[in-house]
Chains A and B, each alone.
Chain A
Amino acid sequence: MSTILITIGVITGITTLLALLLTFADAFIADYGIKKILINKNKELEIEGGNTLLSTLVNEKIFIPSACGGKGSCGYCKCKVNSGGGPVLATELPYLSKGDKENNIRLSCQIKVKEDMEIEIPEELFNVKAYKGVVEEIVDITDKIKFVRFKITSNDPSTIDFNAGQYIQLTAPPYPSSPEEVYRAYSIASATKDKNHINLLIGYVEDGLLTTYVHQHLNQGSSVNFTGPYGDFYLQDTDAEIVLVAVGTGMAPILSILYELIDQKSQRKATFFFGARTKSDLFMLEEMDIFERELPNFKFIPTLSRPNAEEEWTGEVGRVNNSIEKILEYSDAPREAYLCGSAPMIDSTVDSLLAKGIREDKIYFDKFD
């Protein structure tokens, strides 16, 4: 018995001593003092050095997107570091393209603030804030997709300003079978003028950490945390004709764009190609009727890839790009396309749209993983 205690005591003693030594060393050696970060050549922060750039900026309420929480595994937290970042680290290399390296792009979760830095981040990230909300509505709209509506309850900020098509990052707290906090990006499906609410469409992914949380743990009245808005996929302010393409939950940003067109009393011609498997996978059909009534030049074209015989489907059959090839006319006139869905769907749709004369730089897309 006493041998066991002595063993434990000795090991604990030695470990404690070394831990203390390292803690003191960390406090004295790794103390980098106050450093300055100059952002976009006009905003200057004075911060305590020694932490990663990502966490330093989050402490200053500047939210750079990060899906992995700073582990260096998602590559979302890229930002431009013009000086003070030190050489590129081995942990960053897998995420930096050749162009990134030439343009001083770095992973902000890997580099530490050890000297004064000069960085550039997209101006709209200053608009990104952390929100608290409650679930006001959560309903199944198909057997795989839930419609979720949050009401923002935080006081500062109490409203959200975003562009139609942008996304938020929803946080799932630890729950049984998911020991850590996780974040995932979801496109906002509500109108931009509804500044107190956020609508999301959340599909169920088997073993998906956040979708499981939403589908099994989130109820009406549950409180939620999210940050946003993010993203450069949003409705451009032009008069060009619009082609909208989505499958499944990819409809979310398209809904926001359509609400925006109504609010602008837009006369723009818009065609929405939507893909689903069967008739029972279609949703928001009443909304589409409203859009067709309110928008003078809007047309909704659903396409089913595997319509059931008993469902009596008379609409388009095939993949969305088949319908585009069949229905959309070739034109040199300025047109914009907004695509949202899985990577294979986007790749095949881009090819079809290019063949119809839409310029490549006018095709905007948001790839869902």
Chain B
Amino acid sequence: MSDINPFFIFFASIFTSNMVLANFLGMCSFIAVSREVKTSLGLGQAVTFVLTGTTIINYLIYHYILVPFRLEYLRFIVFIITIAAFVQLVEMVLERYVPTLYYSLGIFLPLITVNCAILGVSLFMVIRDYNFIQSVAFGVGSGLGWALAILAMAGIRQKLQDAPVPKGLEGPGITLIITGLMALAFIGFSGIVKIQ
């Protein structure tokens, strides 16, 4: 078991080991929903919530069901099932109580299920052998990091609406270039904190 301070993990997963900008996970919805600050804030919150919830559930299932039965090799299918069920639950809650957010997220809400950042966090948690507190810190931090990245991107893209972007680069093209530039900036932080 690694003995890194959970606070280190928490802050590192927001800034230096950001899921999007350091690991390039969760790109699909990151690029598709980052057109407006408002919706990306909503998706950021939803992803953070799902990440926190699924990390906790997956930690408990992995260490208290899969490990005792020596079924670690089932972790992919089990993690995906819990993530899918959890996202379904979040979708029901949002549809019922926050319909405006539900409609603005549209198809990207159920697509959180296959957001690889979510499965990635659950798998990293296992590979890096985090304990429960570390896992929670990692889950929440990664969610906030993802939210931060998409918010920053949405802010830039809103400014970009008035900018003369070359025709062929409009939309995803320029977004990928910006993501690359942001990731370059984040590389500067890498290695400051070791979390594995």
Contact = CB atoms under 8 A, between A and B. Distances in A.
A86 B103 CA distance: 8
A21 interface: yes
Interface string B86-112: 001100110110010001001100000
Nearest to B97: A29
Interface residues on A, range: 20 to 34
Contacts of B99: 86, 114
Interface stretch (B8-16, B34-42, B71-79): B71-79
Interface stretch (B20-28, B61-69, B153-161): B61-69
B74 A30 contact: no
Given A6-B71, A21-B89, A29-B96, A14 B61 contact: yes
Contacts of A6: 69, 71
Interface in B44-90: 61, 65-66, 69, 71, 74, 77-78, 81-82, 85, 88-89
B81 A14 contact: yes
Interface of B: 61, 65-66, 69, 71, 74, 77-78, 81-82, 85, 88-89, 92-93, 95-96, 99, 103, 106-107
23 contacts: A6-B69, A7-B74, A10-B65, A10-B66, A11-B74, A14-B65, A14-B82, A15-B81, A18-B81, A18-B85, A21-B89, A22-B85, A22-B92, A25-B92, A25-B93, A29-B92, A29-B96, A30-B92, A86-B99, A89-B103, A89-B106, A114-B95, A114-B99
Contact of A18 (B82, B95, B96): B82
Contacts of A25: 89, 92-93
A90 interface: yes
A99 interface: no
Interface in A6-55: 6-7, 10-11, 14-15, 18-19, 21-22, 25-26, 29-30, 32
B28 to A, nearest CB: 15
Contacts of B85: 18-19, 21-22
A344 interface: no
Contacts of A114: 95, 99
B106 A90 contact: yes
Interface of A: 6-7, 10-11, 14-15, 18-19, 21-22, 25-26, 29-30, 32, 86-87, 89-90, 114
Given A7-B74, A10-B69, A25-B89, 10 more contacts: A10-B66, A14-B82, A15-B81, A18-B82, A22-B85, A30-B95, A32-B96, A87-B103, A89-B106, A90-B106
Contacts of A26: 92
Across the A-B interface, the 6 shortest Cβ-Cβ residue pairs: A18-B85, A29-B92, A87-B103, A29-B96, A90-B106, A6-B69
Nearest to B99: A86
A10 B95 contact: no
A22 B86 CA distance: 9
Given A21-B85, A22-B88, A10 B71 contact: yes
A22 B89 contact: yes
Nearest to B88: A22
